[in-house]
């Protein structure tokens, strides 16, 4: 079976994959999650957190080629990792994530979306180097279809998100282009507009794109369905 490496999105950590990891393991796969620098159990001064540091952390976690799943903002660091070392990545899976374009930053992609639903849900830190999710907007923006207790679980673990990695234009070339890719859209997403997720995947082979009827957090709201979709993606590699 396959090895999955799961990469969290903004303000999150390895903790958000709590329910998906056993679901993937139940299907016979190996599944692990890491904290990117400055998240979870990986402290880092906010000024030292960069897109390059994110990409290096992902590659350091891979011993044998893995299917690397990136949620939301993690579409950028998983892509940067693929550009650095494509031989380490069996496939990139974008889970309601930003699918980057060469020379463009995540901030620029967010601004080009037809709507900006997250603007009302985040606050910048006083130093201007990061942002946090507003407590009163968590359920609405991220977890509206998730089980009871999800918001409390997340509230205790969410952290400051460094802005620098998201404001950095990404450099992508032949290495990135050589890595197979899949996209899982979320039709009920209130963070990245579903219509923008569709536009990011225009021209992708239809077999490489699937859609779930969930919020921005399918790892909490539908972990078994998500695991089955990832299982089918893995089977395509065998």
- Would you state the pLDDT for residue 11? 98
Q: What is the pLDDT of residues 127-164, one digit of tens each?
A: 999 999 999 999 999 999 999 999 999 999 999 999 99
Q: Report if pTM > 0.95.
A: yes
Q: Do 214 and 186 contact (CB within 8 A), yes or no?
A: yes
State the pLDDT confidence band at 7, using cuts at 50, 70 and 90: very high
Question: From CA 153, how far away is CA 136, in angstroms rounded?
Answer: 14
pLDDT higher than 70, residue 238: no
Task: Tokens 């960069």: give the residue.
Answer: 50
> What mean pLDDT is reported for the chain?
97
DSSP 43-57: ---GGG--HHHHHHH
Q: Is the pLDDT of residue 208 over 70?
A: yes
Q: Burial code of 55-84, b = ≥16 C-beta within 10 A, e = fewer?
A: bbbbbebbeebbbbbbbbbbbbbbbbbbbb
Handedness of CA 207, 213, 215, 218 (dihedral sign): negative
| pLDDT band (50, 70, 90) for residue 236 | confident
Place of tokens 């999710």: 133
Q: What are phi and psi of 165, to 5 degrees?
A: -60, -30
pLDDT for res 237: 72
- The string of pLDDT tens digits covering residues 95-124 is 999 999 999 999 999 999 999 999 999 999
Residue 224 in this model has a pLDDT that exceeds 70: yes
**Rounded alpha-carbon distances, angstroms, from residue 159 to 38, 70, 131, 145:** 8, 18, 9, 22
pLDDT over 90, % of the chain: 98
Here the contacts of 36-42 (C-beta below 8 Å, separation 24 or greater) are 36/7, 36/8, 36/74, 36/77, 38/159, 38/160, 38/162, 39/8, 39/11, 39/12, 39/13, 39/14, 39/159, 40/8, 40/13, 40/14, 40/15, 40/157, 40/159, 41/13, 41/14
- Mean pLDDT over 8-31 rounds to 98
Stated length of the chain: 238
How far is it, in rounded angstroms, from Cα 36 to Cα 75? 13
- pLDDT value at residue 15: 98
User: What tokens does 113 get?
Assistant: 């979306």
Relative to beta strand 3-7, strand 66-71 is parallel
**198 pLDDT tier (thresholds 50, 70, 90):** very high
Residue recorded with tokens 């299917």: 67
Coil, strand or helix at 79: helix
């Amino acid at each position: 079976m396959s090895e999955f490496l799961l990469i969290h999105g903004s303000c999150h950590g390895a903790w958000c994959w709590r329910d998906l990891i056993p679901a993937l393991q139940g299907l016979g796969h190996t599944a692990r999650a890491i904290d990117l620098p400055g998240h979870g159990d990986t402290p880092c001064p906010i000024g030292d957190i960069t897109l390059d540091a994110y990409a290096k952390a992902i590659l350091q976690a891979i011993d044998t080629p893995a299917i690397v799943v990136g949620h939301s903002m993690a579409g950028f660091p998983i892509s940067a990792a693929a550009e650095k070392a494509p031989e380490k990545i069996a496939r990139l899976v974008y889970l309601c994530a930003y699918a980057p374009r060469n020379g463009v930053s995540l901030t620029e992609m967010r601004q080009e979306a037809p709507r900006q639903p997250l603007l009302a849900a985040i606050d910048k830190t006083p130093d201007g180097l990061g942002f946090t999710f507003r407590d009163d907007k968590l359920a609405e923006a991220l977890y509206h279809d998730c089980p009871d207790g999800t918001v409390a679980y997340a509230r205790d673990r969410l952290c400051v998100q460094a802005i620098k990695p998201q404001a950095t234009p990404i450099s992508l070339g032949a290495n990135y282009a050589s890595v197979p890719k899949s996209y899982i859209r979320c039709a009920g997403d209130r963070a990245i507009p579903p219509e923008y997720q569709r536009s990011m995947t225009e021209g992708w082979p239809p077999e490489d794109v699937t859609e779930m009827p969930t919020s921005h957090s399918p790892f909490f709201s539908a972990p078994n369905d998500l695991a089955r979709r990832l299982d089918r993606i893995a089977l395509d590699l065998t």
